[in-house]
Homo-oligomer: A and B are copies of this chain.
Amino acid sequence: MAADTNIGKAGAGRTIISVDAMGGDRGPAAVVAGISLSAKKNPDIGFILHGPRAKLAPLIARKKILADRIEIRDAPDVVSMEDKPRDVIRTGKSTSMWSAIESVRNGEADAVVSCGNTGALMMLSVVRLRKIPGVARPAIAVLWPSRNPQGFNIMLDAGADISADENDLLQYALMGASYARNGMELKRPRIGLLNVGTEEHKGRPELKLAHEMIQENADAANFDFVGFVEGRDLPGETVDVIVTDGFTGNVALKTGEGTASLVGDLLREAFKYTPLSRLAALLAYPSLRRLNKRIDPRRVNGGVFLGLNGTVVKSHGASDATGVSAAIKLAFKLGQSGFSEKLAARVASAVSLPQDASTSQDNSGNPS
C-alpha cells in the first residue's frame, strides 16, 4: 500500500468513504462510475479509492467531478470471489480489500464500501477492525423491500454466521434498532424475532430465551418489541427490523430474491405472448418501470456489517454504477452520523445475561 499524501485534498470538511475498486463482477470501471454518480449528487463526500493505480488513474482522469475529491491508494492485488477467507488473512496484505479496510482502521475514512468476496470481507473486517465489546458474533444487515412507509425492512443476520444463540440474537436486536435509527431515521423501530409462528410457546429453545431477553431490553434501548414474526413479515408492514440467525436469514434472503426474479421473468414472458399483450406491455411500460424501481435490488444495495469498530458496507458483487452509488450513499449516511460509535454505546449499555433474563423479570427497565 503506497502512502499518498493528498488525503487533505480529498478530505476537506467532507465525509470520507474508502472504496475497494476491485473484486466486483463488473470491474473497477463500474465502481468509478458509481463513485462519480455519488459525487455529483452529494458535494459532502470525499473518496479514497483502493486498487492498482495504473488501472484506476485513467478511469478517474475521465471523470471531471472527481478531480479534487478522490485519491488513489495503490494496491496491486485483488481478492477474488473464489479466495478462501483464511488465505486472504494470511497473504492478502497487498490487496485492495485489505487496503480499503485499513483506511477505516486508521481513521482516514468514515466507512468502507466493497463489492468483493463477502466471506473474505467479513473475516478481514473482524481481524483488522475488531469486534466491539459485548458482541460475540458480528452480523450482516440487509434491506428488504416491504409494505412499510419507508419502503424497506431491515433483516439481520443475513449470513455472517450460520448460528446464533440467545445472546447473539439480543445483540442483533440492539444493533438492528440502532441501524434503523441511524440508517432509516426510525425513531422507535419495531423489532420482531423470526420464528415459525407468532405464538410464544413455539420454536427452538434459544428463540424463547431471546424473546425474553429482547423484551427486557426494549424500553431501555428505545424500540418496540413485537415478539415473534414469520417469513411473510419480511416484506410486510408489521415490523421494521427482523432478527434471525445467519443460516435462516441467508436462506430467506435468497428465497425472496429467487421468488421475485421468477415472478418478474414470468411477467415478461406473459407480456410477450400475443400481439395484444405486447401492445399492453408498451402502454404499461411506465407502470412496470415504477414497479421495477420500487423493488429494484440495486436501490437497496448494501449489506452492512454490524458489531465492528468501523462501518463496512458490502455492495452486491454484480453491482453496476447505480448499485455502487446506493452503497456509497448508505456508507455516507452511516459514516456521517457516527453510527459505529453510537452502536457500540448502545450495545455496551445493555448487557443482559441469560440467567438474568430467565430468573428476574423486574429489572427490565434497568439493564446494567
Chain A residues near B (Cβ < 8 Å): 145-147, 159, 162-163, 194, 196, 202-204, 230-236, 244, 246-248, 250-267, 269-271, 273-274, 276-277, 279-284, 286-288, 290-291, 294-295
Minimum Cβ distance to chain B for residue A121 (Å): 15
Docked Cα-Cα span, A274 to B285, in Å, equals 12
27 A-B contacts (beta carbon < 8 Å):
A146-B262, A147-B262, A162-B203, A196-B246, A204-B247, A230-B254, A231-B250, A231-B257, A232-B254, A234-B255, A256-B256, A256-B258, A256-B259, A260-B263, A266-B291, A266-B294, A270-B288, A270-B290, A270-B291, A277-B283, A277-B286, A277-B287, A280-B280, A280-B281, A280-B284, A281-B284, A284-B284
Give the docked Cα–Cα distance between A271 and B258 (Å).
23
B204, B231, B277, B287: the one contacting A255 at CB < 8 Å is B231
Task: Given A196-B159, A277-B286, A286-B276, decide whether A252 and B250 contact each other with a Cβ distance below 8 A.
Answer: no
Q: Are B255 and A232 in contact (CB under 8 A)?
A: yes
Determine the chain B residues whose CB is within 8 A of the CB of A235 once the complex forms. 255, 258-259, 261-262
Quick one: copies of this chain in the complex? 2
Pairwise interchain contact B248-A271, C-beta atoms closer than 8 A: no
Given contacts A194-B251, A203-B162, A235-B258, contact A276 B283 (CB under 8 A): yes
Within the assembled complex, what's the spacing in Å between the Cα atoms of A247 and B251? 11
- Hey, which chain B residues are within 8 Å of A282, CB to CB? 280
Which residues of B lie under 8 Å from residue A255 when comparing CB positions?
231-232, 234-235, 252, 255-256, 259
Q: How near does chain B come to A144, taking the closest CB pair, in angstroms? A: 9
Q: Say whether A251 contacts B230, CB under 8 Å.
A: yes
A231 to B234, CA, bound (A): 15
When the two chains form their complex, are residues B270 and A258 in contact, meaning their CB atoms are under 8 A apart?
no
Within the complex, the shortest CB–CB distance from A246 to chain B, in Å, comes to: 7
Most chain B CB neighbours (cut-off 10 Å) among A204, A234, A256? A256
CA distance A346 to B146 in the complex (A): 43
Residue of B nearest to A257 (CB): B232
**In this complex, what residue of B is CB-closest to A84?**
B201
Closest Cβ neighbor of A283 among chain B residues: B280
* A287 adjacent to B295 (CB under 8 Å): no
List chain B residues, Cβ under 8 A from A231.
Answer: 250-258
Report the bound CA distance from A116 to B232 in whole Å: 20
Say how far A287's CB is from chain B's closest CB, in angstroms: 4
Q: CB-CB < 8 A to A259: which residues of B?
A: 234-235, 255-256, 259-260, 263
Q: Once the chains are docked, how many angstroms separate the CA of A282 from the CA of B259?
A: 26
